[in-house]
Structure 1
Amino acid sequence: MRMATSKDGTELAYDVSGQGPALVYITGATCFRRFRPVLADVGVFATKFTVYNYDRRGRGDSADVLPYAIEREVDDIEAVVDAAGGRAILYGHSSGAALALEAAVRMPDKIDRVVIYDAPYVHDEAERAAYAELAQKVYALLDEGRNARALKAFLSGIGMPRAFVALLPLFPGWKTMKALAPTLRYDIGITETLPPVERFASIQVPVNVVVGGKNPAGMQQVARELASAIPRAAHRVLAGQDHMVSAAALLPILTDSAVDN
């Protein structure tokens, strides 16, 4: 385990694996760097990259200086990129995809290219209202200290299969997931709006906007909107993939620097 320090003093834990160009892995909600699915991804990515796998603030071995702001999470990404030598490729999954795009807006001089998968912004006003209702339910459970219930409510609310959610307490990382449940507030805050396409239109680094072919129509729509708004973006649909994307299926896109213009 290594540590990087963000601008507000938050200590961020990260691990380094593999050899090749620096790749910073920005995970989504309920994930942490030693979560088994994350480690499986890192094992694949490390065959082509030097992977910087870090705990987002409030997770795993990382600290969390309050108050929270999306800008501080972008500061965190910059701290990890600096630890990687000052330049890196960013891969963001789910809410991590939204953070990767925010980083691309702010620090293009430190980013070679960005790959995002399943950016989970709401796609219309109806979904926005439903997500706000889910958020209030999750926040109420967190306020009561019912972290496990909050996690299950969130994951069920965003469409995770009930059988999968029911089995979560059997996962080796469940104890850590419960501890990081308060960070669900962060992920919801990042993704509760429509895609901020006007801001992302200023992105000048190459971006691959990737979505799973088995994902809902709303997520497909968000991917198309992002790819249309970002000047140097490619839009890729991975056939047969859902939100839990296969790292092996994603690897060719990570290694391909070509984008559509």
Structure 2
Amino acid sequence: MTAHLASRDGTTLAVDTIGHGAPLVLVGGAFNDRSTVAGLAVELAPRFTAVSYDRRRRGASDDRADEYRVAAELDDLAAVIAHVGGRAAVFGHSSGAALALDAAAQGLPVDRVAVYEPSFCADPSLPRPAVDVLDRLTALLASGDAEGATELFLGEVIGVPGEALVGMRESDNWPFLVEKAPSLPYDLLLSEPWRLLPPERLSGIGIPTLAAYGDRTSPWLSAAARAVATTVPGAELHILPGEDHSVLQRPKALEPLLREFFG
């Protein structure tokens, strides 16, 4: 079932719900929309009311904001939670994990939060994007170069090698990625990958928290998940064998972990 609801600034959000039980909001990361978490929603539906939505500037959601602000994305998540009853558990993937953790830290009505490979930088020994990556990306978008913005994000933020980028440009999935480019500044603002994760961003979270990563993922992402587990008081850490950052494509691998945690 799809609903269209208004966020605080008038932005329209497309929201899907499936299943029965306590509401569990699923938040995707960069280059994701509600379709990319739909498989996980189906797996969770027998036990939960699984809720997925298009974050602003992607899919069927628009963006009425004059500028990119994390606060707007928090308002959106708050509107989604209000739509499904006023309280919810939240699962976030990648930059969606950063949003979920910020929601918990800011006191949104979230009862439990689980995150998979948040896109923070938590290891000072690993390379980081340049500080001006956000300015360069927004400049490309302002000039209408969505493909350039997509390449910049994939290459400098995610670290996709040049030869792999060539293959991605030739794939059938490339138009889907380029379509999401206008929302990439939100992902950067949520993750701030050019700076080390400040502990105070997470240390005030006071709800049950689970951090997870796959044992085949990059050191950058595994370090971020471990940082969440060590910084959030009482947080749990789980490592999924054989998995990497693309785990949303294999929702059956995630479902048992989330079912047990969210109960």
Normalising by structure 2, report the TM-score.
Answer: 0.86
- Alignment partner of 1:210: what SS? strand
TM-superposition CA deviations, 1:113-147 (whole Å, max 9, x none): 11100111123457575343654553443233121
For 2:255 and 2:51, the matched residues in 1 are separated by 16
For 1:241 and 1:125, the matched residues in 2 are separated by 24
Q: Give aligned-pair identity as a percent.
A: 36
- Alignment partner of 1:208: what SS? strand
Are 2:122 and 2:227, in contact at CA under 8 Å, matched by a contact in 1? no
Which residue of structure 1 aligns with residue 184 of structure 2? 184
- Alignment partner of 1:130: what SS? coil
Q: State the 1:96 CA deviation.
A: 0.3
Normalising by structure 1, report the TM-score.
Answer: 0.87
Q: Which runs of 5+ in 2 are unaligned?
A: none
Q: State the 1:214 CA deviation.
A: 1.2
For 2:5 and 2:139, the matched residues in 1 are separated by 33
For 1:258 and 1:20, the matched residues in 2 are separated by 11
Q: Which runs of 5+ in 1 are unaligned?
A: none
Instruction: Pick closer, same or farther for the CA change 1:41–1:189 going to 2, 3 Å.
Output: same
Farther-moved stretch of structure 1 (67-76 vs 177-186): 177-186
For 1:73 and 1:196, the matched residues in 2 are separated by 20
Structure 2 matches for 1:59-78, cutoff 5 A?
59-66=58-65, 67-78=67-78
Structure 2 matches for 1:9-24, cutoff 5 A?
9-24=10-25
For 1:112 and 1:146, the matched residues in 2 are separated by 40
- 2:256 aligned with 1:257, yes or no? no
- Alignment partner of 1:121: what SS? coil
Instruction: Pick closer, same or farther for the CA change 1:191–1:82 going to 2, 3 Å.
Output: same
Aligned length: 255
Structure 2 matches for 1:111-126, cutoff 5 A?
111-124=110-123
TM-superposition CA deviations, 1:79-125 (whole Å, max 9, x none): 101111111110100000000001111235x2121110011112345
For 1:56 and 1:126, the matched residues in 2 are separated by 32
TM-superposition CA deviations, 1:42-69 (whole Å, max 9, x none): 2223243211110101111112122221
Which residue of structure 2 aligns with residue 2 of structure 1? 3
Which residue of structure 1 aligns with residue 167 of structure 2? 166
What residue identity is the alignment partner of 1:248? K
Farther-moved stretch of structure 1 (117-126 vs 211-220): 117-126
Farther-moved stretch of structure 1 (187-196 vs 128-137): 128-137
Instruction: Pick closer, same or farther for the CA change 1:177–1:255 going to 2, 3 Å.
Output: same
What residue identity is the alignment partner of 2:218? P
- Alignment partner of 1:132: what SS? coil
Are 1:155 and 1:165, in contact at CA under 8 Å, matched by a contact in 2? no
For 2:170 and 2:81, the matched residues in 1 are separated by 34
- 2:262 aligned with 1:228, yes or no? no
Q: State the 1:168 CA deviation.
A: 5.7
Q: State the 1:236 CA deviation.
A: 1.0
Are 2:20 and 2:45, in contact at CA under 8 Å, matched by a contact in 1? yes
Which of structure 1's runs of 4+ aligned residues deviate more than 6 A? none
Instruction: Pick closer, same or farther for the CA change 1:199–1:86 going to 2, 3 Å.
Output: same
